[in-house]
Amino acid sequence: MTAAAADKLAGSENCLPIGTRLADFEITGVLGEGGFGIVYMAFDHSLQRSVAIKEYMPGPLALRADDHSVTVRAERHQDTFDLGLKSFINEARFLAQFDHPSLVKVYRFWEQNQTAYTAMQYYEGRTIKDIVANSPEVVTEAWCMRVLRQILGALETLYTMQLLHRDVSPDNIIVQDNGDAVLLDFGSARQIIGDMTRGLTVILKPGYAPIEQYAGDASLPQGPFTDIYALAAVMYFAIIKEAPPTSIARMIKDPMTPLASRALEGFGEGFLCALDGALAVPAQERPQTIDAFRALLGIHEAGMPRARPAGATQRIATVDHVPRLAPLASAAPLAVQPAKIIKAPRPQFPRWAIAALLAGLLLPLALLYSLSGGDDVVMVVQQAPPAPVPAVIPETAPPVAAAAPAPDLEAQAWDKLKNAPDTKAAAIEVFLREYPQGRYLVPARKRLAELTVAASVAEPKPAAPKAETASYRLSIKPWGTVYVDGKERGVSPPLKKLTLSAGVHMVKVVNPGFPDHVTRIVVKQGAPGTIAHDFTATKK
């Protein structure tokens, strides 16, 4: 959706001709084509403005007819095409609920030509992929931090609706001419089609997809840490000018040199250590939440825009906030020693895990890329230094030479954390919040990264308790919001599975266009089941 891409005016034979009218919009050019969609530049005759229009056009499954309609290449593809179409519309419906400056703004969506369209805000700018190719000199630590700050806010907004992006890449983030970053669509139709047609293609972007995205089941769960890996990989690409090695290649013998071990002029070691931590191959060794990644980067939330969709009150289940602890008590001043950098060992996967992935869970790769095409609040929270406590001198006391200087609370707190053998990661996070721009910022970030890795490696895995739950597969058509015992659990699709405790539950599925579907289920320990409902088969 960039102005530079407007040179591709006509596009391929699969594109609509210039001058085609779609509702109130007139096609004026082609901005980009991908395996599963086309983005056009268009003029809105109703509101007299330029917009970007995305068309659902899965090239592997469909082609353009003479009347501009989209038809499947073979009858066997119809069900897959239809499911992808519904997912495309669902994505537009979700994005239309948000008004976040770093999330693509959807104006409207509709069906026409036997396919679907989304009208979006037209952004003047370039993708990170284009910036690295043509203007690499703009990539500095400050530039990266600004992009990270804004995209992390966008991802966190998606998580309020229990949605993972799963498609963060250099061609899916646009940096506008004013420097603000925008996260584009998250290709849910591509992912749905990939799930449906494993024999046809799997939609992953090598270098940016973490290891858990190569597994087709719950053996390697996905969460915010999945998007965090991809975003860190985008920063790696911006700095090094090439994508990281694929996560599959990194499993056995990691060929990637950590960023902090390179002599990268202009980039602080603490910043690079934070990216290295987010690029850990085992998911459990990465920051698990947006807040945890912010803490590693030294990003503080004050002043950041927080868009919330109406009625959204529930976070994604895997997003936890860093616990807030009481400030550390001051200790006696100690001599400040330079922090010793301990290089974390490269992650080693158990042989059985590698064998399982390579033997059965890996999905065949096909490099089909998706089509991608507020004022920036950059606030540094500075805490005022503690005011010195005036000495209380009795009137009758003889004069003294000078009051003792105020204790250096920051140095005392850091010395206590640095030297204590039982220092926890949460305590380091508290220190970073107390002194966000302090003298010990870099060693504190390094220490936090070391503790995060050490905790996941050293702590023994607790024995799995006996299952007192059961897994229920969801099959909701076309979509619906799922409630269990009155509590919202998410929207299906994309939600595919519920884990329910043993006992009796009332399940309600809501789609505003149809009557509610309510059912009573009895969950037996360890016995899986299915909750299925097709709203289109119900007369309103």
CA distances from 467 to 180, 434, 527 (A): 47, 42, 10
Annotated binding-site members: 54
- 195-219 pLDDT per residue, tens: 444 433 446 788 999 998 887 556 6
Output the average pLDDT for the chain: 76
Task: Return the minimum-mean-pLDDT range out of 299-308, 416-425, 468-477.
Answer: 299-308
Continuous segment of H or E residues that includes residue 49: strand 49-56
Task: Return the minimum-mean-pLDDT range out of 218-232, 397-411, 426-440, 476-490.
Answer: 397-411
Q: So what's the pLDDT on residue 259?
A: 95
Q: So what's the pLDDT on residue 478?
A: 84
Task: Return the minimum-mean-pLDDT range out of 106-110, 330-334, 472-476, 520-524.
Answer: 330-334
* pTM for the predicted model, two decimal places: 0.57
Residue 236 pLDDT class (50, 70, 90 cuts): very high
Res. 256: pLDDT tops 50: yes
Res. 65: pLDDT tops 60: yes
CATH number corresponding to 4-121: 3.30.200.20
- 357-369 pLDDT per residue, tens: 444 444 333 333 3
Q: So what's the pLDDT on residue 158?
A: 87
Q: What is the mean pLDDT of residues 22-33?
A: 90
Smallest CA-to-CA distance from 276 within 401, 435, 450 is with 450
Residue 466 pLDDT class (50, 70, 90 cuts): low
Q: Point out which residues pair with 507 in neighbouring strands.
A: 484, 519
Q: Which residues contact 180 (CB under 8 A, 6 or more apart)?
A: 101, 102, 150, 374, 375, 376
Q: So what's the pLDDT on residue 338?
A: 37
Residue found under tokens 């616990």: 323
Q: What is the mean pLDDT of residues 67-87?
A: 90
Res. 406: pLDDT tops 70: no
Shared fold status for 4-121 and 125-312+344-361: no
Position with higher pLDDT, 186 vs 101: 101
Q: What is the mean pLDDT of residues 405-418?
A: 77
Smallest CA-to-CA distance from 298 within 128, 183, 148, 505 is with 148
Q: What is the spatial order of strands in the sheet that 517-523 belongs to?
A: 487-492, 480-484, 503-510, 517-523
Position with higher pLDDT, 141 vs 165: 141
Q: So what's the pLDDT on residue 213?
A: 86
Res. 376: pLDDT tops 60: no
Annotated binding-site members for ATP: 54
Rounded to a whole number, what is the distance in angstroms from the first to the last CA of the chain?
Answer: 39
Q: Are 3 and 124 in contact (CB under 8 A)?
A: yes
Task: Return the minimum-mean-pLDDT range out of 158-162, 377-381, 405-409, 527-531.
Answer: 377-381
> Which fold would CATH assign to domain 469-537?
Immunoglobulin-like (2.60.40)
Q: Point out which residues pair with 41 in neighbouring strands.
A: 29, 52
CATH number corresponding to 125-312+344-361: 1.10.510.10
Task: Return the minimum-mean-pLDDT range out of 35-44, 191-200, 241-250, 483-492.
Answer: 191-200
Pair of tokens at residue 108: 């409207």
Q: So what's the pLDDT on residue 540?
A: 44
Residue 257 pLDDT class (50, 70, 90 cuts): very high
| H runs (alpha helix) in 269-408 | 269-278, 290-297, 351-356
Q: So what's the pLDDT on residue 382?
A: 33
Q: So what's the pLDDT on residue 217?
A: 56
Residue 46 burial (10 A CB sphere; 0-12, 13-18, 19+):
exposed
Q: So what's the pLDDT on residue 26?
A: 96
Position with higher pLDDT, 237 vs 522: 237
Q: So what's the pLDDT on residue 147?
A: 97
Q: Which residues contact 11 (CB under 8 A, 6 or more apart)?
A: 30, 33, 38
- Domain borders along the chain are 4-121, 125-312+344-361, 469-537
